[in-house]
């Protein structure tokens, strides 16, 4: 099982709407995340920095989500609130795990 962490960024003033969208996450989005092997997914907010963490038995499977129409639709909806890449994906930067305690 892999633990994956990464950071993303909110645009100023979008903290509340970002939280609201996740409070109202679509059931089909949850199903899509599970389909790609993502579980125990958590996002933390620190200022405008989002720290995301999930677990997966096969992280290479997660990359296939980029082409999923449900995931793409979610990303399109979230684009006004976050920093994005030119290809329509949320900007993110992987971070290295330096400690874990079970």
Range list of H helices, 1-102: 15-23, 27-35, 59-62, 69-78
Mutual orientation of helices 27-35 and 69-78 as an angle, nearest 10°? Answer: 120
Residue (of 52, 80, 56, 76) closest to 66 by Cα position: 76
Residues identified as active-site: 22
For residue 82, CA distances in Å to 11, 22, 33, 34 come to 5, 13, 20, 23
């Amino acid at each position: 099982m892999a633990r994956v962490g990464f950071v993303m960024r909110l645009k100023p003033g979008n903290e509340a709407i970002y939280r609201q969208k996740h409070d109202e996450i679509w059931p089909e989005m949850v199903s899509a995340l599970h389909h790609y092997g993502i579980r125990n997914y958590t996002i933390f907010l620190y200022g405008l920095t989002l720290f995301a963490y999930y677990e997966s038995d096969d992280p290479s499977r997660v990359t296939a989500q980029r082409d999923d129409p449900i995931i793409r639709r979610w990303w399109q909806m979230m684009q006004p609130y976050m920093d994005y890449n030119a290809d329509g994906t949320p900007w993110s930067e992987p971070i290295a795990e330096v400690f874990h305690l079970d």
